[in-house]
Chain A
Amino acid sequence: MSGFKRDWSGNAKRRDGPKPAAKQVVRNAYTPMFESLRNELDEHHDRRERIVKASRDITALSKKIIFSLQRVRKIESQLPANIQSEVDSRLAEIAKLLATIAPEIQGINRYRYARSLMCLEELVEALTFAHYLRTQTLISHAELDPTIEDLTRKGTVPEDETMADASDTAGTAEKPAPPPTAEPPTVSLTQDDYLYGVFDLTGEMMRFATTSTALTGTMAGGGSGEGDGGDDEPRTIVHDMHELGTLFEMLPVGSGNRFQWEKKLEVTRQSVQKVERLGYDRIIRGSERPKGWIPDLSADQGQGDELE
């Protein structure tokens, strides 16, 4: 509504008219060469940008899965239904994101963008944690690969039943994946994605051990698995943490990123010791309280009935 600008000869300038040629670059013998190199670099930068965006979203979703899983109180073959459904819906979103970037990180580009794909570590952490809560075992790299491939494939097929309820939140259709032909490309995990994901798993297990012990009064892993043939005490999370700690202590240090490895190993050691301390406390102080005693805040879970 306001006025408009006029050019030198008094004619109104159009707002959306063709812009004056953007800063004319002086052309010389080398300009064409640089233009073609520019196109190559742009392709790379744009691709990385797309990957970084998706990666950030996948990281956030994975963290949310982990938070949900931290609300689990004991290890059993089925996650509580409400938590399972939270996890499923997040995984569905992750699947879509993975499917969008899958074509970008095939072949030579897998390692090219490895550093922009830190999200995979986070995803490994979430998946290994979920697996631990269900089975009390560590899932191997080889077992995890098909899971992630499966996720990517689900994300590619839009009218999958698991997709139906997943809300379409993030603008995931950044760059639509090419129509799925015979075999849609999938995302592969590198050894480092797996290892560093498992490093972080120890932290989550420590947190889980702490909360579940505080709230249920028993060491996770111990109570529920009784009567499955084991004559000894069932294995607790203390033992599992020791095993994980030993695994990392015994593995040769990857020479690629020694610094990061040492840092993660130190954190793992601390987590192991925290859980150790927890086990010790429970033996010492646990004897002072009746079996099955639980703090008042969760008093609805039935009273301890027998004293030993």
Chain B
Amino acid sequence: MAPPMIDPALFEQLKTKIEEDTSVRKELDQILDDLNQHVSFTQGLLSRIHSTPRAKYATLLGQVEGGIKKEIETVGKLSAFASQYPYYKYNHKWTRMVQDAIATVILCAWLGGMATDSKPGEVGRLLTLENIGQAFNVPVNLKDRDAFHITVEEYLLGLIAVIDDLSRLAVNSVTLGDTAMAVQISGFIKDLHAGFQVLNLKNDILRKRVDSIKYAVKKVEDVVYDLSLRNLIPAQEAQ
């Protein structure tokens, strides 16, 4: 008896594997739905920064931190679930959303939020990749084992989103009469821009987004130029 072309068990094995994969994706989608909701909410709150004078930051950032807390919880769930499977098999499903979540945390901290016992909140504080990992309570840049973590790319892409937002804030802070803020943002963005020049980029999404930083730089430079032209730059900030 010649064996059949396809062993009947073979079909069953393939089918089971595909079904497993599908159910993992479904479950991930549910978690990501939640995350999406919290991230959108937090982003919405943060957009109020453009119309909030600096004196009222504390209240606003308190609310934002509430949103971030939910993000952190959901990322914790995601981490627990996703760590059961090969990380990069499903990473593409959440990487955008995690980047957005990272961006909200970086921005909130830069504006003076996310204070911890050891580090008081202050305007201009940049959270590093390690800080972000601590904030979300997940590992970063994992190499030695296959589990959920935040990647270097995700951090950098999140940071670029913050740069975009800050360049907008530079304009709006001037409108609110806070010229010192615009000057500080300008210095920060220029420093980061110089920092991104240090990277060796390949022709990928990161490269594309890094290229966009120069427009943010130009935007804040224009603001600072307008200010200096009219002698509106506060004395202690002027250089």
Residues of A within 8 A of B (CB): 25-26, 28-31, 33-35, 37-38, 40-42, 44-45, 107-112, 114, 135-138, 140-142, 191, 195, 225, 228-230, 234-235, 239-240, 243-244, 247, 250-256
Residues of B within 8 A of A (CB): 1-7, 9-11, 13-15, 17-19, 21-22, 25, 86-89, 91, 126, 128-129, 141-147, 152-153, 155-156, 191-192, 194-202, 206
B2 to chain A, nearest CB (A): 6
Chain A residues lying within 8 Å of B191, measured Cβ to Cβ, are 28-30
A73 to chain B, nearest CB (A): 19
B203 to chain A, nearest CB (A): 10
Count: A-B pairs, CB below 8 Å: 131
* Apart from A33-B129, A110-B88, 14 more pairs, CB < 8 Å: A28-B191, A31-B194, A31-B195, A31-B198, A37-B156, A41-B200, A42-B200, A108-B86, A112-B88, A138-B6, A141-B13, A254-B21, A255-B22, A256-B25
B81 to chain A, nearest CB (A): 16
Describe A's contact surface by its main secondary structure: helix
Contact B197 A38 (CB under 8 A): no
Say yes or no: A235-B5 contact (C-beta < 8 A), given A41-B199, A108-B86. Answer: yes
A251 to B9, CA, bound (A): 13
Chain A residues lying within 8 Å of B89, measured Cβ to Cβ, are 111, 114
Contact A111 B22 (CB under 8 A): no
Chain A residues lying within 8 Å of B21, measured Cβ to Cβ, are 191, 254-256
Chain A residues lying within 8 Å of B1, measured Cβ to Cβ, are 228-230
Within 8 Å by CB of B88, from A29, A31, A114, A251, lies A114
Describe B's contact surface by its main secondary structure: helix
Contact A108 B195 (CB under 8 A): no
Contact B142 A108 (CB under 8 A): yes
Contact B194 A140 (CB under 8 A): no
Chain B residues lying within 8 Å of A28, measured Cβ to Cβ, are 191, 194-195
A37 to B142, CA, bound (A): 13
Write 11 A-B pairs (CB below 8 A) sorted by A numbering: A33-B128, A37-B156, A135-B3, A137-B3, A137-B4, A138-B10, A140-B13, A141-B10, A247-B11, A247-B14, A254-B18
